[in-house]
Amino acid sequence: MITQRLFTGGSNRRVLVTALVLAAVAVLVPVLHLALPPSSPFHVPAYMVALVGKYLTYALLALALDLVWGYCGILSLGHGAFFALGGYAMGMYLMRQIGDRGVYGNPILPDFMVFLNWKELPWFWYGFDQFWFAAIMIVLAPGALAFVFGWFAFRSRVTGVYLSIITQALTYALLLAFFRNDMGFGGNNGLTDFKDILGFNVQAPETRAGLFAASALALALALLITSAITRSKYGMLMVAVRDAESRTRFIGWRPENIKVFAFTISAVMAGIAGALYVPQVGIINPGEFAPANSIEVVVWTAVGGRGTLVGPIIGALLVNGGKSWFTGILPEYWLFALGGLFIAVTLFLPKGIIGTWDSWRASRRDAAERARTKAEEDAAPPPVDPATGRPVRVEETPRAPSPGLSGGPAPQPAE
Amino acid sequence: MTVLRVLFVLVGLALSGAASAQVDDEAIRATIARFADSKNFRETEEIVRDLAATGDVRVERPLSALSDGNLSFRKSDRQVFIAPERGQTATLFDPLTGEAAGEAPKGDFTKVKVNNSLRRTIRDVISGLTLASPDPVVRLAAARTMFIAPDAANLEALDAAIAAETVTSVKISLEAARASTILVSDAPDAAKFDAIALLGQRGDRETLSLLTGFAARSQGDLQAAAQRAIDTIGKSLALWDIGQNIWYGISLGSVLLLAAIGLAITFGVMGVINMAHGEMVMIGAYTTFVVQSVIRSSFPGLFDWSLTIALPLAFLVAGAVGLALERGVIRFLYGRPLETLLATWGVSLILQQAVRTIFGPTNQEVGNPSWMSGGFQIGQLALTWNRLWIVVFALAVFGLLLYIFKRTAWGLQMRAVTANRRMASSMGIRTPWVDAFTFALGSGIAGIAGVALSQIDNVSPNLGQGYIIDSFMVVVFGGVGNLWGTLVGAFSLGIVNKFLEPYAGAVLGKILVLVLIILFIQKRPRGLFALKGRSVEA
Amino acid sequence: MSKSGTILYLDGVSVSFDGFRAINNLSLVLDRGEMRAIIGPNGAGKTTMMDIITGKTRPDAGEVYFDGTIDLTKHDEADIAMMGIGRKFQKPTVFESHTVEDNLVLALAGPRSIFPALFHRRSKAESEHIDEILATIRLEARRNDLAANLSHGQKQWLEIGMLLAQDPKLLLVDEPVAGMTDAETEETARLLKDIAKTHSVVVVEHDMHFVRELGVKVTCLHEGAVLSEGTLDHVSADDRVIEVYLGR
Ligand SMILES: Nc1ncnc2c1ncn2[C@@H]1O[C@H](COP(=O)(O)OP(=O)(O)OP(=O)(O)O)[C@@H](O)[C@H]1O
Ligand SMILES: [Mg+2]
């Protein structure tokens, strides 16, 4: 059914095209990286593969945020926490794959535990030597946290900025917690010095290419799934909750359930993004929980256009590409640029790139349509209502350009 | 011996009574020089007693050095020095004044020999000397030493000192020292019961450990009495502990209040989420830094006035930045709280980076004026002046704001605009200006909070970041739109935090508080002092 | 008074906001299948009464029963809506980013949990029902337009359409004809009378012409309590009603 939905409707084309492009990139880039000699002009250098691979996981994170922010109106300032949790789950797996190749050569305990004089593995590290277990935890840890948190927050009808602030407090609390050595997650330094993933050397070009492909495909798949979700009746409900939460209650829906579900799905996507991120950058540390990181994700999404799915992906790629470029030439000024971006986007481009493009297109279409109806009207007599015999009122005011999903009207209280 | 000692104390007292007891240096130095010629311990002891007989407290220095084995004489000229050795060299000090006198190879010196009996004599002599000192501070210190490390041999000296003492506080200390000494002496049980009773009335930790030690080595009724005294002291100490925690909590609460109160205005009254609020605090702290730098380089005499000068300046600077922020960004975003949040976050990044570019990323040195440094003790409570002043200051700022809101025309206008913007504007209130100045006021308050926080925190570009989440928590917890809520919120969070810390540790305590707030919001989504009514239901 | 046979039973209900009594010992009984018009001056507590019935506001005291047996004070908004109480708000509230049709789809009776919604496909019966409703509320031509672009009156109608889609046992309709032309008002009256054949309805209105059109029992509220009850003629002849509401 979902697949069927995917292929209906015109605006869907963008999602489809993006997914196809991503799939193509997933194949092409690894091939160009591995098969061509470095001298070839089409060779993709290793640093590029790593960099873009990282961006793709960021894009997945932005897409996850878009699902809750763009469609459900939940501005989460704590999505970095889910990303980091997924990353830690993957990191724990990678740590256990090191085996006795660590500095201290302990076959069971990761180096930092030996360093801290721990004698045995804490219980929550059990099972992480198996990939399947780690994979489950990558989904479960962020998902469960989001579910519990969301269940509490949404049930008590915490909304708007209040919710944003407590999500920020959530990631801040986790930041403090993960900095502690006795939490058993490597404290300040986090987890690093990875060797193998699924038996392949994480440093090997083939592995890097594989991880790149996995990131691109995961993003494509996530895009298709979120697109299907937003297009379903449930997706309509998310938007309904975003615009008029209490109204949905009076027709029998439970906004809290709708939100918890979206929040949990989104957290899982963020966790998967984090899990793909860690082997590509080779480290995960508590810094990933920093509130500033989470809020940066928001600006990627805003730049691309929230509520457009494809927009956040473009936004994440653009902003991060810009960041790499900028920090290369003017490192001290990057924060000025980022800060300026926050301001500029909210003031001048509230719908983001894609949203602005859409409304520009819509207004052009409307203008054309108006011109056509005007011509027809001039030719034909005004339509008459058969019941009353009075001329039917024709909407004189030009139709407002379609607000689309991004620029929806301000939420209204039900009165 | 005891007779001698009493005599000696009496002599000492007589000397101290004769105000100027300055025995001339030469005589003392001559006595000290005799150490070099001492043949045995008995002779050395004689010299010690002669030194003590001068009644000059300065002889404590060579005597202590002797007791520590640091008194030596140069082989070549038999001159006596305090010469602690490190490795192959000895550092030389004048035996009387303690002035450094260079270094020399250790081999050039011979130590004046001491044994334990000599050490005991020295200690007795010294405490007798200091007990007899004309300076009450020295007498107090001597009493404290004898209290903490009692020695039965001191009893007579103490009795004599108590009899002669005129300063009440010193006398109390002396009596405590006597009681503690009685407990280690072979005095009759009746005297010991009295001593326990006297000690039981003191409530400090040292008495507690003293009595605990006594209880461990005594039996029967004495032990029971000591145990009772221990329990009473334990109870009173627990109370003092609670008091101390409350004080720490109040102190943290006042910091939170200062950081949050500006936010309570911009967020609570205007509904504007200002993520750059912490940076306003930072700007205030940097203003203090600049003021102090100017004062240090140009008007060093004014240093104690630096905070007083910085306060209005910080208010103006932060207020001006706030005004610019409101006019330049925020006013376009009214009614879009989430967008405001993002834009002001951007502003905070820019401000941080600007400060980093101008002043560098490291901590800046901001000094405490003299009236802000040091501390004092009330009972078992340790208070520091800077914390105390910050509490006072926070409350003063709070009172001032309350006054502005409740009693001035501007406050009325602010409240009117909060209640119903359109209505207020149609009644002729210039809402844009009310907005702009309310925002500037909130920012200015953050600026003066920065002046206060510069006294207890590192002044770095990240200063504000550390406060923003906490301040939001205070405002959310206290209830938006209510200054009293902010006050209660700040102090209760501060106190809860400090009470959790001993059990959970600082970080975990903080995490627990965050979790508690999240749970609290479950119950009261609008905070402690929530506004009610239709306008807030969305 | 017995609760059996009633669709709505309010007895001794009071609620106050910060000391202000919006509803004061209000008692009101609606029989199954009955339509009732409620009038009263601004601030009489009409909307607040609906808030209480739909679970938005909890009463401080009093009994509120639905269908004779269900204690509404123990349920929340979504529960109450699912039991069969539908509400049209005084200020029309529709989902503005959705099309007219989708607004109806969301309101359509059916399961209200996540997974059915995720995998929902519209059945033929549902489509037909929606067509029917669209015809009834005369918005067929606008079915694919965004609700945000409807006029005030059309939004009112869309809300009534959503009520129909919900198919509740009891409809609470708050000021349905505010901002409508006379013809539209008549039309709405006809529609409501139609609905009342199969449902119980409570209508709040200030438009006396419209209330007369409905031709049902009228309750006049004042300061949170019933001032007068009976036929419109009876009520409008009541001195107190004239005093506080109708004017001389
Ligand atoms: N949540 C609330 N908080 C405070 N006061 C409220 C609240 N809800 C209603 N009121 C007050 O209760 C009173 C009754 O309001 P209500 O909206 O029920 O009147 P009404 O009869 O519907 O009036 P109208 O004809 O103007 O719609 C009003 O004075 C209103 O201000
Ligand atoms: Mg009303």
Assigned domain for C207 exists: no
- Contacts A239 to C, Cβ<8 Å: 95, 97-98
* 3-state percent breakdown (helix, strand, coil) of chain B, nearest 5: 75, 5, 20
Taking the centre of ligand 1 as the mean of its atom positions, its distance from the CA of residue C22, in whole angstroms, is 7
CA distance B422 to chain C (A): 19
Angle at A84 between CA A79 and CA A89, to 5 degrees: 135
Assigned domain for C210 exists: no
Same-domain check for residues C88 and C63? no
* Residue among C17, C88, C172, C221 whose CB has most ligand 1 atoms within 8 A, to mutate: C17
- How many contiguous H segments (helices) and E segments (strands) does chain B have? 21, 8
- Residue C171 CB neighbours (<10 A): 25
| HSE-CB for A352 with a 13 A CA cutoff | 31
Give the strand order in the sheet containing C85-88. Answer: C85-88, C170-174, C200-204, C35-39, C217-222, C225-230
Exposed, middle or buried, C165 (CB in 10 Å: 0-12/13-18/19+)? buried
Assigned domain for C209 exists: no
Same-domain check for residues C69 and C89? no
Inform me whether the pLDDT recorded for A271 exceeds 60: yes
pLDDT at C105: 93
Same-domain check for residues C29 and C122? no
Same-domain check for residues C145 and C38? no
Question: What mean pLDDT do residues B162-166 have?
Answer: 83
Inform me whether the pLDDT recorded for A415 exceeds 60: no
A79-91 residue pLDDT tens: 999 999 999 999 9
Assigned domain for C208 exists: no
pLDDT at B9: 46
- Contacts B531 to A, Cβ<8 Å: none
Same-domain check for residues C132 and C227? no
A357-403 residue pLDDT tens: 988 988 888 888 888 887 776 665 554 444 444 444 444 344 333 33
Same-domain check for residues C67 and C102? no
Please name the residue ranges forming H helices in B264-384: 277-298, 306-328, 337-359
Assigned domain for C205 exists: no
Q: If you measure CA to CA, which chain B residue comes closest to A162? A: B476
Q: Which residues contact C234 (CB under 8 A, 6 or more apart)?
A: C228
Domain A2-362 in this protein, CATH class = mainly alpha
Judge: A162–B521 Cβ closer than 8 Å, yes or no: yes
Is the Cβ of A188 closer than 8 Å to some Cβ of chain B? no
Is the Cβ of C185 closer than 8 Å to some Cβ of chain A? no
Q: Considering every ligand atom shown, identify the ligand nearest to the alpha carbon of residue C49 and give its number.
A: 1
B301-351 residue pLDDT tens: 888 888 999 999 999 999 999 999 999 999 898 888 888 989 999 999 999
The pairing of beta strand C35-39 with beta strand C217-222: parallel
From CA A345, how far away is CA C101, in angstroms rounded? Answer: 33
Judge: C89–A247 Cβ closer than 8 Å, yes or no: yes
Q: Is C44 in the pocket of ligand 1 (CB under 6 A)?
A: yes
Inform me whether the pLDDT recorded for A234 exceeds 60: yes
pLDDT at B194: 85
Check residues A7 and A33 and name the one with the higher pLDDT.
A33
Judge: C119–A253 Cβ closer than 8 Å, yes or no: no
3 state DSSP class of A82: helix
CA distance C192 to chain B (A): 29
Mean pLDDT of chain B, nearest integer: 83
Cα–Cα separations (whole angstroms), residue A243 to A133, A247, A251, A302 = 39, 9, 14, 18
Assigned domain for C27 exists: yes
ipTM of the complex: 0.91
Assigned domain for C89 exists: yes
Assigned domain for C211 exists: no
Check residues B12 and C77 and name the one with the higher pLDDT.
C77
Give the CA radius of gyration of chain A.
24
The pairing of beta strand B80-82 with beta strand B375-378: unpaired
Angle at A153 between CA C19 and CA B468, to 5 degrees: 90
From CA A156, how far away is CA B520, in angstroms rounded? Answer: 10
Question: What mean pLDDT do residues A288-300 have?
Answer: 94
- Residue B21 CB neighbours (<10 A): 17
Provide the CATH number for the domain around residue C220. Answer: 3.40.50.300
Closest alpha carbon to C142 in C181, C105, C102, C106: C102
DSSP string, B419-488: H-HHHHHHTT--HHHHHHHHHHHHHHHHHHHHHHHTTTS-BSTTTTHHHHHHHHHHHHHH-TT-HHHHHH
Check residues B3 and A17 and name the one with the higher pLDDT.
A17
- Contacts B346 to A, Cβ<8 Å: 299, 338-343, 346
CA–chain centroid gap for A65, Å, is: 4
Q: Considering every ligand atom shown, identify the ligand nearest to the alpha carbon of residue B534 and give its number.
A: 1
CA–chain centroid gap for C247, Å, is: 26
Q: How many residues does chain C have?
A: 248
Q: Ligand 1: which residue has its CA nearest to atom 24?
A: C42
Cα first-last separation, chain A: 37
Question: What mean pLDDT do residues C45-51 have?
Answer: 93
- Extract long-range pairs of A317-326: CB within 8 Å, 24+ residues apart: A317/A55, A317/A58, A317/A59, A318/A353, A320/A54, A320/A55, A320/A58, A321/A55, A324/A51
Q: Is C43 in the pocket of ligand 1 (CB under 6 A)?
A: yes
Range of the domain at C194: 84-200
Same-domain check for residues C66 and C168? no
Closest alpha carbon to B13 in B5, B2, B25, B24: B5
Q: What are phi and psi of C97, to 5 degrees?
A: -85, 5
B72 sits in which H/E element: strand B71-74
Q: Looking at chain A, which subunits does it touch, using at least 3 CB pairs closer than 8 Å as the criterion?
A: B, C
Count of domains observed in chain C: 2
Q: Which residues contact B122 (CB under 8 A, 6 or more apart)?
A: B48, B63, B64, B66, B67, B114
In the stretch 217-256 of chain A, residues with CB closer than 8 A to chain C read 229, 232-234, 236-237, 239-240, 242-244, 246-254
The pairing of beta strand C225-230 with beta strand C217-222: antiparallel
Same-domain check for residues C134 and C189? yes
In the stretch 100-159 of chain B, residues with CB closer than 8 A to chain C read none
Question: What mean pLDDT do residues C94-113 have?
Answer: 92
Q: Which of B13-17, B399-403, C22-26 has the lowest mean pLDDT?
A: B13-17
From CA A151, how far away is CA A264, in angstroms rounded? Answer: 10
A89-127 residue pLDDT tens: 999 999 999 988 888 888 889 989 998 889 899 999 999
Inform me whether the pLDDT recorded for A233 exceeds 70: yes
Taking the centre of ligand 2 as the mean of its atom positions, its distance from the CA of residue B91, in whole angstroms, is 93
CA distance C74 to chain A (A): 16
Q: Buried b / exposed e across C73-110, counting CB within 10 Å, b at 16+?
A: bebebbbbbbbbbbbbbbbbbbbbbbbbbbbbbbbbbb
Judge: C93–A244 Cβ closer than 8 Å, yes or no: yes
Same-domain check for residues C195 and C109? yes
Taking the CA of residue C43 as reference, the ligand 1 atom at the shortest distance is: 19
pLDDT at B487: 92
Check residues B377 and B14 and name the one with the higher pLDDT.
B377
Q: Looking at chain B, which subunits does it touch, using at least 3 CB pairs closer than 8 Å as the criterion?
A: A, C
pLDDT band at B529 (very low <50, low <70, confident <90, very high): confident
Inform me whether the pLDDT recorded for B259 exceeds 90: no
From CA A203, how far away is CA A211, in angstroms rounded? Answer: 11
A312-349 residue pLDDT tens: 999 999 999 999 999 889 888 899 999 999 999 999 99
B68-126 residue pLDDT tens: 888 888 888 888 888 888 778 888 888 888 888 888 888 888 888 888 888 888 877 77
Same-domain check for residues C125 and C164? yes
The pairing of beta strand C200-204 with beta strand C170-174: parallel
